[in-house]
Chain A
Amino acid sequence: MPDLTKTEETEPVKAPVAEGAPVPPADPAVGKPRSLWSDAWSDLRRSPMFIISSAMILLLLVIAAFPGWFTSLSPRDSDMALYLQKPQFGAFFSPEWLGYDGQGYSVYTRLIHGARNSILIGVSVTVLVTFVGGLLGMLAGYFGGWVDTVISRITDVFLGLPFLLGAMVILVSFETRAVYVIVLALAVLGWTLVARVMRGSVITVKQADYVMAAKALGASTTRILFRHVLPNAVTPVIVVATIALGGYISAEATLSFLGIGLAPPAVSWGVDINTAKDLLRNAPHVLLWPGLMLSFTILAFIMFGEAVRNALDPKLR
């Protein structure tokens, strides 16, 4: 039995793995003073997947923040004389490098400028979903009873709802199709995943001794929830959310591709791929590059998520 008063005082994040993790630890290294998080960090630093993906993400972040460093043109600079010109691979990082598209835009410039929306949407949706889904999942898992029933049934209905229909209803009801509208639509449709994971995780954690003890000592519900339950139940949510980030980027591109996501003048790889599909026969490069760039970005975030999961999920060690 751990020292209860101390558990309450110390940073709860440092609670032993054995009690916090939703899955029974295969790692018998309990008793070492190191926490899950510092353990994970030392793991991460040595993981090649983590290093590679971090480098990729860093590059993407720089591109998204300072597109001007990489290209001098604006994504809406059109010159019809350059219509569908083929790539000139010798001309590194100049506008003609990857050729021109059906509007006379530089494909390379569009790639650079497309990064911001993709990453902005991916990250915002992840944050929003983690908060909303996490909160609802925690409430359902902790209180059980009718709260759980209501939240779980709503989750069921949302899961049964076709993504496209939901997205259309939300997107159409807004005048503009700005980035925040897409974020909202994806978050509304995406919170159920996090809620489910959180609920399962909280149900495991709430039976732990230290939660029982805190209750017995008369700690308030809010305190128990946020200082004891949340920190110990959040790990799987972080894992799921990190991996889902790549998925949200893909979802934005899919919506834009279907014509219900972002639309010009907004720059998005999904929009560009939609336009390029009609040029597939005579100018495949117009489709290839945004497709590769999009895949590269998703790959970066998914690898990052996997690396984090490997470090946080003791079962996989």
Chain B
Amino acid sequence: MRGAKSAKWVASAIVVALAATACGGNDSSNDGGKGEVDPNGVFRLTNSEPQGNLQPANSRDTASGQVIKGLFSQLVDYKKDGSAELVYVNAESVETEDNRTWTVKLKKGWKFHDGEEVTSKSFVDAWNWAANIDNNQQNSYWFADIKGYEDVHPSKGKPKAKEMSGLKVVDDHTFTIELTEPVTYFNYKLAYSAWSPLPSKFYDDPKAYGDKPVGNGPYKFVSWERKKKITLERYDEYQGPDKAENGGVELVVYNTLEAQYQAVASEKADVITQIPPRDLPKYRQDFGDRAIDAPMAGVQSIVPVFYGDQWKLGDEKNAKLRQGLSMAIDRKTITDKVLNGSRVPATGFVGPNVLGFQEGVLGEVAEYNPEKAKKTIEDAGGVPGNKVHIQYNADGGHKEWVEAVCNNIRQNTGVECIPDAKVDFQTDLNTRDAKKVKSMYRGGWVLDYPVNVNFMRELYETGADSNTGFFSSKKVDELFKKGDSAADLDGTVKAYQDAEKELVKEMPAIPLWYYSTQAAHSKKVNNVEFDLANFLLMHKVKVVK
């Protein structure tokens, strides 16, 4: 009985995961753990050791990110169902007339876990502190839109000021943010955890605070046993919409994904947020209706470098070659088999479930068509040297799919394709930064904020810091500019959608597939849901008695 039911659920889960790219979906396993819900039950989430301390503007890795998301609430949040509808959390409202000056009104009565009231100052001081280059916060660039950022975060030398002139406290519950340029989607950026407020006691000793953080979120910090676990408990006075439906979380550290998996499979822990490659083929059998497939917003692609002599800018025939290579890749077979259904074939440059996502913008360029691929490449004069390299880091589990992609290219187009392994991520990044990539490299991007802009401007604008393929196109830059100066969010999104269509012609990258979440949970919990960056929505988890 059970087996049959599981199989059916699995089949529908895959359909849901695939369909989710189009219409979005809020996947959860609804009936995993059965029985009465214990509102004070504590569950164990498998995690790895956070890198660095728990200062919100310094957290970039997923392990500390998950903790920060429990400890802190932001001004706003957005729905994860693909509509990306804005939700106010600590803010009563975030409004603007001109997209340049934003007025934030805070909800009254919000308190940090130590009892201090959350006021305008809690935000403004925290942002000034985090943006200051001397404080070495890894997320400091998030504040770059604010007027006066250059003074606290110069690209060279010491900061000239301690405060950004664009931030002004009006009263305890109102403050304004002035930007250097209008940004129509600025309110969406505020959902990122770098914008967390900080209590005044933070500044006494920021480092010590990072070991024992005090936030304004649905959970309060209890303890941190290094390399063992972090314990959070529900903050009972919490007033936000995302109040915890469980008593607390233990984030238990396991060295490897394999160990995390085993812990959940043997009911020693309750939720795993990522399935290790070794267990991917079997996890649906192992967990039955407790296996989860949920959509994410992220794209994996192979990125040509335009500083070598193989790929040329503004050359239509050269761009055709990249289209040809794209058509030679059998995305469906590779995602199904080599990647065990953990990815969804990409049809555009922008990840799904964000504002402005366009299904199928790549059209036939993303469709597997060996004959056309070969013909397109031949018609365009063939790939210079008749050989491409795909650079990847050997320590990240990419070897299998890079080899499969290369086999596709080689066997379908006759262009020799060499997987170019770099020992580790460090060496890989170093080669990219030093402009020494031979031909193409593996690139990946997961959303920072849920607008299509995020998937294009940082990667393909001329001179952008993350544009390590050194793509540059006047036409695309103009469309970006048009979007940035649009009167409203719709205008921005539309212009960037046009830019995405232009990108298809120029192919600054060959998008391969969208990321998606594969997860599982024990019999002790249910209602396990994820956001678009693979973070568990901890507050929603229900613990069964």
Contact = CB atoms under 8 A, between A and B. Distances in A.
Q: Do chains A and B touch in the complex (CB under 8 A)?
A: yes
Interface string B239-283: 000000000000000000000000000000000000011110110
Given A80-B333, A260-B423, A102 B278 contact: no
Contact of B394 (A263, A278, A281): A263
A259 B281 contact: no
B421 A277 contact: no
A204 interface: no
Contacts of A177: 421
B500 interface: no
A223 to B, nearest CB: 47
A80 B419 contact: no
Nearest to B333: A80
Contacts of B281: 279, 281-282
A282 B280 CA distance: 10
Interface in B362-408: 394-395, 397, 399-400, 403-404, 406-407
B403 A264 contact: yes
Interface string B320-345: 00000000001001100110000000
A280 B280 CA distance: 11
Contact of B400 (A102, A171, A263): A102
A171 to B, nearest CB: 6
A172 interface: yes
Nearest to B404: A103
Contacts, number: 65
Contact of A259 (B404, B419, B423): B423
A259 B425 CA distance: 12
Interface size class of B (residues with CB under 8 A): 20 to 34
Contacts of B423: 168, 171-172, 259-260
Contact of A78 (B282, B397, B407): B407
A265 B411 CA distance: 14
Contacts of B282: 281-282
Given A103-B407, A275-B400, A259 B330 contact: no
B542 interface: no
A111 B395 CA distance: 24
B80 interface: no
B410 interface: yes
B200 interface: no
A76 B410 contact: yes
B399 A264 contact: yes
Quick one: which of B282, B395, B400, B421 has the most chain A CB within 10 A?
A: B421
B256 to A, nearest CB: 12
Given A259-B395, A263-B421, A265-B419, A280 B400 contact: no
Q: Is the interface of A mostly helix, strand, loop or mixed?
A: loop
Contacts of B407: 76, 78, 103-104
Contacts of A84: 337
Contacts of B406: 264-265
Interface in A51-78: 76, 78
Interface in B423-475: 423-424, 427
A281 B395 contact: no
Contacts of B489: none
Contacts of A80: 330, 333-334, 337, 404
Contacts of B410: 76
Contact of B399 (A275, A279, A282): A275
Nearest to B417: A265
B30 to A, nearest CB: 28
A288 to B, nearest CB: 15
Contacts of A275: 399-400
Contacts of A97: none
B418 interface: yes
Interface string B271-303: 000001111011000000000000000000000
A158 interface: no
B372 to A, nearest CB: 19
Nearest to B403: A264
B224 to A, nearest CB: 31
Given A103-B338, A259-B395, A265-B418, A172 B278 contact: no
A83 interface: yes
Contacts of A280: 278
A263 B278 contact: no
A171 B423 CA distance: 8
Contact of A263 (B334, B419, B427): B419
Nearest to B438: A175
B287 to A, nearest CB: 14
Nearest to B281: A282
Given A78-B407, A102-B400, A277 B337 contact: no
A263 B399 contact: yes
B425 to A, nearest CB: 11
B377 to A, nearest CB: 20
Contact of A102 (B279, B330, B338): B338
Nearest to B330: A80
A278 B403 contact: no
B277 A278 contact: yes
Given A260-B423, A263-B394, A103 B403 contact: yes
Contacts of A277: 278
Interface in B110-147: none
A177 B424 CA distance: 13
Quick one: which of A103, A263, A280 has the most chain B CB within 10 A?
A: A263
A278 B277 CA distance: 6
Interface string B86-98: 0000000000000
Nearest to B402: A264
Given A171-B423, A265-B419, A259 B403 contact: no
Contacts of A78: 404, 407, 411
Contacts of A264: 399, 403, 406, 419, 421
Nearest to B422: A172
A72 B329 CA distance: 26
A284 to B, nearest CB: 11
12 contacts: A80-B330, A102-B400, A104-B407, A177-B421, A259-B399, A259-B423, A260-B423, A263-B419, A275-B399, A278-B400, A279-B281, A280-B278
Given A260-B423, A263-B394, 13 more contacts: A103-B403, A168-B423, A171-B423, A264-B399, A264-B403, A264-B406, A264-B419, A277-B278, A278-B276, A278-B277, A279-B278, A281-B278, A282-B281
Closest 7 CB pairs of A and B: A263-B421, A259-B394, A78-B407, A278-B277, A282-B281, A278-B278, A83-B337
